[in-house]
Structure 1
Amino acid sequence: MCGRYTLAVEEEDLIQPFGIDDVQYEITPRYNIAPTQTVAGVRSDHGKRILQGFHWGLLPFWAKTKRMAYHTFNARAESIDSKPAFRSAFPEKRMAVLADGFYEWTHEGEHKQPYRFRVKSRDVFAFAGLYDDWKSPEGELFTSCTIITTKPNSLTKKVHDRMPVILGEEELNIWLDPGVSDKDLLQGLLRPYEAEDMCSYPVSRSVGNVRNEGEELIEKIALNSK
């Protein structure tokens, strides 16, 4: 599962690394991004990469109300082509959610202890995602997304039995290419990221409250502290 993550960077940190041509979303550093919030994502449109905001929680075009989006912030890689909520978006509506770290929780003693996971080789990386557009009865256009998860690697499985799909540069180019429609090829990208290129450390339990924000949330702590 991926239910909380960070993107504590500025806009200029994203443009060149992800080849963004058109910016339609204002980037500000964020340390505690949660489902139902607006998140920064990239998709391709007519040969250009667009940075835009997506509601985190996929709302398929056929949904009757917005309530469904509360339960679709993650999509399991193994079932995205069969689950009704995701199969209408896969493989045509692919996007990537940008992040510089994510949180997972484990039980340590009486408390749930959060850990932050990062990629060693890159300051910012991309989660594989899907998006869809939904129009309300009043005509409001609502663009939303989900983050795809897969089985854990040897590092993340110490804390959780799932992890978000992190795409390398080559995999990202394929994932965002609208000319690629081979489902087997795309499914092959949805695998655990290399554990050797990741690190993790414990952070404050304050990250568990979505109202908390601030740079202190990503600081490493001693496990006997709060």
Structure 2
Amino acid sequence: MCGRFSLTANPEDVRALFGYIEQPNFPPRYNIAPTQPIATVRQEHGQRHFALVRWGLVPAWVKDPASFTLLINARAETAAEKPSFRVSMRHHRCIVPASGFYEWRRTPDGKQPFWITPADGSLMALAGLWATWSDADGGDIDTGALLTMESNRMMSEIHHRMPVFLPPGTFDDWLDVGNVPVREAVKLLKPVPDDYLTAVPVSTRVNKVANDDADLQAAVEEQIVKPAVSKKQKPSGAGGSGQLDLF
């Protein structure tokens, strides 16, 4: 799975890779968490667009989002058939730009976080889905999820699932929901080579959503934290006016 990621690339570099028509300016984010806004790229009327969505997909048919499971990830192997994702697979495919992501390796003593990036330092294109949920008063909010698949050999040392990465040559077909059917789109969801990613252990400061700085990505000696017996807390970022803001 993928539960935290980062987007620290220069906005101009992000726009150059994904080719959307907007010119958004956004600050670096080092610890993006579920329920927070994430940047997405989608295609409408033959052009690519930049849009913010809340991380945690809510299908249009949901009556009460507060009682619905937070869907931050969708399994690439079954998303086309699952009720929560099949409409988005047909009509609302997107790309999520990322500089890297975090994953935790389970051990008998606890969890060790790792910072994972492309070995060549390039920007990631994560396969994603989005949906629009409307409340009874007519208010809309766009939400999204990341697609995941079985880990390659490198990632399997840390976790059994990993995000799905899209090479630039697949962007057009993945985003073209009008002309590329699901059965063809799913063929684009392939494992990356074992040497595509590199991972380093990082500080357990990343466990706290409020920490959002470059030091989170600095390599450290492994420092496993034993699980605490405490009440599970929801990630911050869900409250407020519902406006999406990268700041």
What TM-score, normalized to structure 1?
0.93
Residue 198 (structure 1) aligns with: 197
Q: Does 2:201 match 1:187?
A: no
SS at 1:2's partner residue?
coil
Quote how far apart the aligned CAs of 1:182 are. 2.6
Provide the aligned C-alpha RMSD in A.
Answer: 1.8
2:133 is matched with which residue?
134
Whole-angstrom CA distance in 2 between matches of 1:224 and 1:63: 41
| Secondary structure of 1:21's aligned partner | coil
- Note closer, same or farther for the CA distance 1:180–1:154 as it changes in structure 2 (3 Å cut): farther
Find the counterpart in structure 1 of residue 176 from structure 2: 177
What is the 5 A alignment of 1:100-119?
100-108=99-107, 110-119=109-118
* Structure 1 match to 2:12: 12
CA distance in structure 2 between the partners assigned to 1:120 and 1:69 by the alignment = 37
Q: Distance in 1 between matches of 2:119 and 2:75?
A: 25
Residue deviations 1:119-143 (CA, integer Å, cap 9, x gap): 1245311110111111111111110
> In the aligned structure 1, how far is the partner of 2:67 from the partner of 2:125?
25
1:59·1:68 contact (CA, 8 Å) conserved in 2? no
Q: How far does residue 195 in structure 1 lie from its aligned partner after superposition?
A: 1.8
CA distance in 1, matches of 2:165, 2:71: 18
Residue 170 of structure 1: how far off its partner (Å): 0.9
SS at the partner of 2:90?
coil
Contact 2:95 / 2:125 at 8 angstroms: preserved in 1?
yes
Secondary structure of residue in 1 paired with 2:195? helix
Shift of 1:59: 1.0
With over 3 angstroms needed to count, the CA separation of the structure-2 counterparts of 1:195 and 1:101, relative to structure 1, is same
Unaligned stretches of 5+ residues in structure 2: 226-247
- Structure 1 residue 20: deviation in Å? 1.6
| Correspondence for 2:89 | 90
What is the distance in 1 between the residues matched to 2:76 and 2:223? 36
Higher mean displacement: 162-171 or 69-78:
69-78
SS of residue matched to 2:17: coil
Deviations 1:182-205 (A, max 9, x none): 322211112222221211111111
Q: How does 1:138-153 map to 2 (within 5 A)?
A: 138-153=137-152
Change (3 A) 1:177 1:222: same
**2 CA distance for matches of 1:170 and 1:118?**
20
* 1:225 Cα deviation from its structure 2 partner: 8.6
Query: Is the 1:202–1:220 Cα contact (8 Å) retained in structure 2?
Result: yes
Higher relative contact order (CA 8 A, sep 6+): 2
Hey, what's the Cα distance between the residues in 2 that align with 1:46 and 1:67? Answer: 33
SS at match of 1:174: helix
The alignment covers a number of residue pairs equal to 225
Q: What secondary structure, in the 3-state scheme, does the structure 2 residue paired with 1:71 have?
A: coil
Q: 1:109 Cα shift?
A: 5.6
Aligned 1:59-98 pairs, distance under 5 A: 59-67=58-66, 70-98=69-97
**1:5–1:32 Cα contact (<8 Å) kept:** yes
Show the 5 A alignment for 1:145-164.
145-164=144-163
* Per-residue deviation, 1:68: 5.6
How far apart are the structure 2 equivalents of 1:225 and 1:56?
A: 27
Q: What is the one-letter code of the residue matched to 1:177?
A: D
Gaps of 5+ in 1: none
Aligned 8 A contact 1:151 1:191 in 2: no
- Counterpart-to-counterpart distance in 2, 1:48 and 1:121: 29
